[in-house]
């Protein structure tokens, strides 16, 4: 602003008036100031203005760069925040950069509100954040707190999956867990409950895993090495399902004629024709819109009560699931697996 004032031959205060659209400068002066500003590439620092008023109007969003579903959420968060008059600052956890570092970075950049997508941090640390910013947790069940939460009804999504597979004649249905990943425990518990409700308790098996392709590959190899494959597998998420499908394909096992596979998230790659993954679609729009709305509401009214919203997911049936294999195909598959 000082540079613009010096080049235009006016005071810094007059430049401020012109850039903010306030009266006080003649038309010729206003035109000259704007021309000089354009020549110098000057743009008003909206963040500095807000900080001068005690507000940053910035929402920090934590995401895991290795989870495509979280990228889908961010894509929707941006326009919702913009419509509410807020900027978005992303900070990612990644190999070599832990979640606490990512969160502290957002706070150091004066983010008023934090939207944490599937945080892995413990309750104690999250409780401490409540005194430093407005916090909204997305995709992770939390105990009652003063911050808001929004998540999918994972039990419903898994139950829809088990019902779909059971309706296709599947009984030996395994599940690949997600370890400590957000939502993993709820999905595993829902799988066990749904199998029992269907009278399939004797076939319950949760294979330890993670929400990664490598975990899906490892689970596939484990089942292949055992020599007896289930007729269907519920993967912890789409990434895990993709790894499993790759492992089975390399062993000559056909999906879905030999083994049906169901994912969770309905990430963009699940739509591809070569993948064609049956999966549980989380409602990205509802999750993102509620997260931003909660943050804005609490920032505008610090007396607002905390809210926990559960959004209903929906099973999307595609080509990776089919009827349970016949006895004839069972015999052929067993020979093929044993001979590999």
- d(C-alpha 80, C-alpha 10), whole Å: 40
Cα dihedral value 261, 265, 268, 270, nearest 10:
10
3-state SS of 200-263? Answer: CHHHCCEECCCCCHHHHHHHHHHHHHHCCCCCEEECCCHHHHHHHHHHHHHCCCCCCCCCEEEE
Please report the pLDDT score of residue 220 as a whole number. 96
Round to whole Å and give the CA distance between 173 and 191: 10
pLDDT digits (tens, 9 = 90+) for 32-75: 888 988 888 887 654 455 444 456 789 999 999 888 899 999 99
* C-alpha span between 232 and 203 (Å, rounded): 11
Q: How many CA atoms lie within 13 A of 207 on its CB side?
A: 26
Q: What is the pLDDT of residue 337?
A: 77
- Which pLDDT does position 28 carry in this prediction? 87
Which pLDDT value is given to residue 209?
96
SS (H, E, C) 266-282: CCHHHHCCCCCCEEEEC
Per-residue tens of pLDDT for the chain, all 340 residues: 788 889 889 888 788 778 767 677 888 888 888 898 888 888 765 445 544 445 678 999 999 988 889 999 999 999 999 999 999 999 999 888 899 999 999 999 889 999 999 998 887 888 888 778 899 999 987 776 668 999 999 999 999 999 999 999 999 999 999 998 888 999 999 999 999 999 999 999 999 999 999 999 999 999 999 988 999 999 999 999 999 999 999 999 999 999 999 999 998 889 998 899 999 999 999 999 999 999 999 888 877 777 889 999 999 999 999 999 988 888 888 877 767 6
DSSP helix, strand, coil percent of the chain (3-state; round to 5): 50, 15, 35
CA distance 246 to 263: 13
């Amino acid at each position: 602003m000082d540079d613009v004032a010096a080049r235009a031959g006016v005071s810094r205060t007059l430049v401020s008036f012109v850039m903010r659209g306030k009266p006080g400068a003649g038309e010729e002066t206003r035109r000259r100031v704007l021309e000089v500003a354009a020549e110098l590439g000057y743009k008003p620092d909206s963040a500095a203005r807000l900080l001068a008023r005690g507000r940053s109007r910035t929402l920090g969003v934590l995401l895991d760069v290795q989870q495509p579903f979280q990228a889908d959420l961010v894509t929707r968060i941006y326009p919702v925040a913009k419509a509410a008059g807020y900027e978005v600052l992303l900070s990612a956890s990644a190999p070599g950069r832990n979640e606490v570092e990512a969160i502290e970075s957002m706070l150091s950049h004066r983010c008023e509100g934090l939207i944490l997508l599937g945080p892995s941090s413990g309750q104690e640390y999250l409780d401490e954040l409540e005194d430093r910013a407005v916090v909204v947790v997305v995709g992770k069940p939390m105990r009652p707190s003063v911050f808001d939460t929004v998540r999918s009804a994972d039990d419903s999504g898994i139950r829809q999956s088990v019902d779909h597979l059971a309706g296709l004649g599947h009984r030996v249905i395994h599940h690949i867990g997600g370890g400590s990943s957000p939502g993993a425990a709820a999905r595993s518990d829902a799988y066990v409950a749904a199998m029992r409700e269907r009278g399939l308790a004797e076939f319950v098996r949760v294979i330890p895993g993670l929400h990664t392709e490598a975990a899906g590959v490892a689970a596939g190899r484990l089942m292949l090495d055992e020599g007896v494959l289930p007729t269907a597998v519920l993967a912890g998420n789409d990434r895990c399902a993709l790894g499993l499908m790759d492992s089975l394909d390399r062993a000559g096992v056909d999906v879905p004629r030999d083994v049906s596979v169901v994912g969770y998230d309905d990430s963009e790659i699940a739509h591809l024709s070569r993948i064609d993954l049956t999966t549980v679609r989380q409602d990205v729009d509802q999750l993102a819109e509620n997260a931003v709305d909660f943050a804005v509401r609490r920032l505008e009214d610090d007396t607002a009560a905390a809210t926990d919203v559960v959004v209903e997911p929906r099973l999307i049936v595609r080509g990776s699931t089919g009827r349970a294999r016949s006895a004839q195909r069972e015999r052929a598959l067993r020979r093929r697996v044993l001979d590999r």
